Chains A and B, each alone.
Chain A
Protein backbone atom coordinates (compact mmCIF):
# COMPACT_ATOMS: atom_id res chain seq x y z
CA UNK A 1 0.00 0.00 0.00
CA UNK A 2 1.19 3.52 -0.73
CA UNK A 3 1.82 5.89 2.14
CA UNK A 4 1.10 9.58 2.42
CA UNK A 5 2.91 11.75 -0.12
CA UNK A 6 3.34 15.50 0.08
CA UNK A 7 4.51 18.04 -2.46
CA UNK A 8 6.60 20.03 -2.77
CA UNK A 9 9.24 18.93 -0.25
CA UNK A 10 10.73 22.41 0.11
CA UNK A 11 9.43 25.85 -0.75
CA UNK A 12 10.64 29.43 -0.34
CA UNK A 13 8.09 32.23 -0.49
CA UNK A 14 8.11 35.96 0.10
CA UNK A 15 6.08 37.58 2.86
CA UNK A 16 2.58 38.48 1.61
CA UNK A 17 2.49 35.76 -1.04
CA UNK A 18 0.12 32.82 -1.16
CA UNK A 19 1.08 29.12 -1.11
CA UNK A 20 -0.64 25.81 -1.84
CA UNK A 21 0.64 22.55 -0.39
CA UNK A 22 -0.60 19.17 -1.59
CA UNK A 23 -1.13 15.81 0.02
CA UNK A 24 -2.13 12.38 -1.29
CA UNK A 25 -3.55 10.24 1.48
CA UNK A 26 -2.77 6.58 2.03
CA UNK A 27 -4.88 4.23 -0.06
CA UNK A 28 -8.18 3.50 1.68
CA UNK A 29 -7.95 6.49 4.05
CA UNK A 30 -10.78 9.05 3.93
CA UNK A 31 -9.63 11.42 6.69
CA UNK A 32 -6.84 13.94 6.24
CA UNK A 33 -5.44 16.35 8.78
CA UNK A 34 -2.80 19.07 8.51
CA UNK A 35 -0.25 20.15 11.11
CA UNK A 36 2.28 22.94 11.46
CA UNK A 37 5.52 22.00 13.16
CA UNK A 38 7.89 24.78 14.10
CA UNK A 39 11.52 23.89 14.71
CA UNK A 40 11.93 22.02 17.99
CA UNK A 41 8.18 21.90 18.66
CA UNK A 42 5.44 19.32 18.46
CA UNK A 43 2.90 19.32 15.63
CA UNK A 44 0.14 21.90 15.98
CA UNK A 45 -3.23 20.87 14.55
CA UNK A 46 -4.51 23.13 11.73
CA UNK A 47 -7.63 21.34 10.48
CA UNK A 48 -9.05 17.98 9.48
CA UNK A 49 -11.24 16.80 6.60
CA UNK A 50 -13.47 13.76 6.58
CA UNK A 51 -15.09 12.83 3.28
CA UNK A 52 -14.55 16.32 1.84
CA UNK A 53 -16.02 18.16 4.85
CA UNK A 54 -13.98 20.03 7.46
CA UNK A 55 -14.73 18.38 10.81
CA UNK A 56 -12.23 20.07 13.09
CA UNK A 57 -10.08 23.17 13.20
CA UNK A 58 -7.27 24.30 15.45
CA UNK A 59 -6.34 27.78 16.57
CA UNK A 60 -5.24 29.11 13.17
CA UNK A 61 -6.52 32.25 11.39
CA UNK A 62 -8.85 32.07 8.37
CA UNK A 63 -5.98 32.72 5.97
CA UNK A 64 -5.20 29.02 6.51
CA UNK A 65 -7.74 27.14 4.42
CA UNK A 66 -8.04 23.74 2.86
CA UNK A 67 -9.83 21.35 0.57
CA UNK A 68 -10.32 17.64 0.32
CA UNK A 69 -11.12 16.11 -3.06
CA UNK A 70 -13.30 13.12 -3.97
CA UNK A 71 -10.20 10.91 -4.15
CA UNK A 72 -9.42 12.08 -0.57
CA UNK A 73 -6.30 13.99 -1.57
CA UNK A 74 -6.04 17.40 0.04
CA UNK A 75 -4.65 20.91 -0.25
CA UNK A 76 -3.56 23.42 2.36
CA UNK A 77 -3.67 27.05 1.25
CA UNK A 78 -2.07 29.89 3.17
CA UNK A 79 -2.71 33.49 2.12
CA UNK A 80 -0.79 36.61 3.05
CA UNK A 81 2.24 34.69 4.27
CA UNK A 82 4.01 35.92 7.38
CA UNK A 83 7.55 35.19 8.55
CA UNK A 84 6.16 33.11 11.44
CA UNK A 85 4.53 30.76 8.93
CA UNK A 86 7.97 29.28 8.27
CA UNK A 87 7.67 25.69 9.45
CA UNK A 88 7.36 22.05 8.44
CA UNK A 89 3.80 21.33 7.31
CA UNK A 90 2.71 17.76 7.86
CA UNK A 91 -0.22 15.94 6.34
CA UNK A 92 -1.61 12.80 7.98
CA UNK A 93 -4.34 10.40 6.96
CA UNK A 94 -6.41 7.77 8.72
CA UNK A 95 -9.19 5.34 7.91
CA UNK A 96 -11.98 7.49 9.31
CA UNK A 97 -12.54 8.64 12.89
CA UNK A 98 -12.67 5.06 14.10
CA UNK A 99 -9.39 4.37 12.36
CA UNK A 100 -7.81 7.41 13.97
CA UNK A 101 -8.93 6.22 17.38
CA UNK A 102 -7.79 2.63 16.97
CA UNK A 103 -4.84 2.83 14.61
CA UNK A 104 -3.51 6.37 14.68
CA UNK A 105 -2.42 8.41 11.70
CA UNK A 106 -0.02 7.86 8.81
CA UNK A 107 2.12 10.92 8.23
CA UNK A 108 3.82 12.24 5.14
CA UNK A 109 7.39 13.53 5.20
CA UNK A 110 6.22 17.11 5.16
CA UNK A 111 6.76 20.32 3.20
CA UNK A 112 9.40 22.66 4.56
CA UNK A 113 8.12 26.22 3.98
CA UNK A 114 10.45 29.16 4.40
CA UNK A 115 9.00 32.67 4.27
CA UNK A 116 11.51 35.46 3.65
Chain B
Protein backbone atom coordinates (compact mmCIF):
# COMPACT_ATOMS: atom_id res chain seq x y z
CA UNK B 1 0.00 0.00 0.00
CA UNK B 2 0.90 3.67 -0.10
CA UNK B 3 3.22 5.01 2.57
CA UNK B 4 5.14 8.15 3.54
CA UNK B 5 8.31 8.16 5.62
CA UNK B 6 9.62 11.32 7.27
CA UNK B 7 12.77 11.95 9.23
CA UNK B 8 12.43 11.64 12.98
CA UNK B 9 12.22 14.82 14.99
CA UNK B 10 12.49 17.06 16.74
CA UNK B 11 14.65 19.16 14.48
CA UNK B 12 16.17 21.99 16.50
CA UNK B 13 17.70 24.99 14.72
CA UNK B 14 18.82 28.50 15.44
CA UNK B 15 17.05 31.38 13.71
CA UNK B 16 18.30 31.98 10.12
CA UNK B 17 19.64 28.42 9.80
CA UNK B 18 18.96 26.25 6.73
CA UNK B 19 16.20 23.67 7.06
CA UNK B 20 15.79 20.30 5.41
CA UNK B 21 13.13 17.79 6.39
CA UNK B 22 13.39 14.55 4.46
CA UNK B 23 10.36 12.76 3.04
CA UNK B 24 10.24 9.64 0.90
CA UNK B 25 7.19 7.82 -0.37
CA UNK B 26 5.91 4.56 -1.80
CA UNK B 27 2.89 4.66 -4.08
CA UNK B 28 1.47 3.08 -7.17
CA UNK B 29 0.69 5.27 -10.12
CA UNK B 30 1.35 8.98 -10.10
CA UNK B 31 0.67 10.53 -6.70
CA UNK B 32 0.37 14.18 -5.85
CA UNK B 33 2.63 15.23 -2.99
CA UNK B 34 1.93 17.74 -0.25
CA UNK B 35 3.46 19.34 2.80
CA UNK B 36 1.12 20.39 5.60
CA UNK B 37 2.04 22.39 8.70
CA UNK B 38 0.37 22.19 12.12
CA UNK B 39 0.90 24.95 14.66
CA UNK B 40 0.24 24.17 18.34
CA UNK B 41 -3.45 23.71 19.10
CA UNK B 42 -4.52 24.04 15.48
CA UNK B 43 -5.49 21.87 12.53
CA UNK B 44 -3.31 21.19 9.51
CA UNK B 45 -2.69 23.86 6.88
CA UNK B 46 -1.59 23.12 3.36
CA UNK B 47 1.91 24.55 2.94
CA UNK B 48 2.80 23.53 -0.61
CA UNK B 49 2.15 20.88 -3.24
CA UNK B 50 3.44 19.28 -6.42
CA UNK B 51 1.35 17.17 -8.76
CA UNK B 52 3.91 15.72 -11.18
CA UNK B 53 7.55 14.74 -11.40
CA UNK B 54 10.09 17.62 -11.32
CA UNK B 55 7.44 20.10 -10.15
CA UNK B 56 8.62 22.46 -7.41
CA UNK B 57 6.10 23.58 -4.83
CA UNK B 58 6.84 26.76 -2.90
CA UNK B 59 5.19 28.96 -0.30
CA UNK B 60 6.35 31.33 2.47
CA UNK B 61 10.01 30.64 1.64
CA UNK B 62 9.58 26.86 1.82
CA UNK B 63 10.29 24.69 -1.22
CA UNK B 64 10.05 21.03 -2.17
CA UNK B 65 10.75 19.28 -5.47
CA UNK B 66 8.93 16.14 -6.62
CA UNK B 67 11.71 13.64 -7.40
CA UNK B 68 10.26 10.52 -9.01
CA UNK B 69 13.64 8.84 -9.49
CA UNK B 70 14.35 8.94 -5.74
CA UNK B 71 10.66 8.92 -4.65
CA UNK B 72 11.35 11.94 -2.47
CA UNK B 73 9.80 15.31 -1.63
CA UNK B 74 12.18 16.96 0.82
CA UNK B 75 11.13 20.25 2.43
CA UNK B 76 13.68 23.08 2.51
CA UNK B 77 13.89 26.66 3.69
CA UNK B 78 16.93 28.88 3.41
CA UNK B 79 16.49 30.86 6.63
CA UNK B 80 14.07 29.72 9.33
CA UNK B 81 12.33 31.99 11.81
CA UNK B 82 11.05 31.34 15.31
CA UNK B 83 7.52 31.55 13.89
CA UNK B 84 8.25 28.48 11.73
CA UNK B 85 8.25 26.29 14.85
CA UNK B 86 5.53 23.72 14.19
CA UNK B 87 4.98 20.11 13.13
CA UNK B 88 5.38 19.40 9.41
CA UNK B 89 3.58 16.52 7.68
CA UNK B 90 4.43 15.08 4.30
CA UNK B 91 1.49 13.49 2.49
CA UNK B 92 0.55 11.91 -0.80
CA UNK B 93 -2.70 11.44 -2.66
CA UNK B 94 -2.51 8.55 -5.08
CA UNK B 95 -4.15 8.69 -8.46
CA UNK B 96 -7.21 6.54 -9.04
CA UNK B 97 -9.67 5.25 -6.47
CA UNK B 98 -11.06 7.66 -3.91
CA UNK B 99 -7.93 9.87 -3.64
CA UNK B 100 -7.59 9.42 0.10
CA UNK B 101 -4.36 11.01 1.39
CA UNK B 102 -1.67 9.15 3.26
CA UNK B 103 0.27 11.12 5.88
CA UNK B 104 3.70 10.71 7.38
CA UNK B 105 4.13 10.74 11.15
CA UNK B 106 5.19 14.38 11.22
CA UNK B 107 8.45 16.14 12.06
CA UNK B 108 8.57 18.68 14.84
CA UNK B 109 10.64 21.80 14.13
CA UNK B 110 11.87 23.98 16.99
CA UNK B 111 13.59 27.25 16.10
CA UNK B 112 15.48 29.14 18.82
CA UNK B 113 16.17 32.91 18.69
Contact = CB atoms under 8 A, between A and B. Distances in A.
A101 B32 contact: yes
Interface stretch (B39-47, B65-73, B74-82): B39-47
A108 B95 CA distance: 24
Contacts of B45: 107
B106 A56 contact: no
A42 B98 contact: no
Contacts of B56: none
A103 B49 contact: yes
B100 A56 contact: yes
B85 to A, nearest CB: 15
A21 to B, nearest CB: 13
A48 B98 contact: yes
Interface in A79-108: 90, 92, 97-98, 100-108
Contacts, number: 66
Q: Specify which of A4, A43, A97, A98 lies most central, judged by the most chain B CB atoms within 10 Å of its CB.
A: A43
A116 B46 CA distance: 33
A114 interface: no
Nearest to A33: B100
- Tell me what chain A mostly uses at the interface: helix, strand, loop, or mixed: mixed
Interface residues of B, number: 25
Contacts of A109: 41-43
A41 B106 contact: yes
B43 A108 contact: yes
Contacts of A90: 43-44
B103 interface: yes
Contacts of B58: none
Contact of B103 (A4, A43, A55, A56): A43
Interface in B54-113: 89, 91, 93, 95, 97-106
A42 B104 contact: yes
Interface of A: 4, 6, 33, 40-43, 45, 48, 50, 55-56, 90, 92, 97-98, 100-110
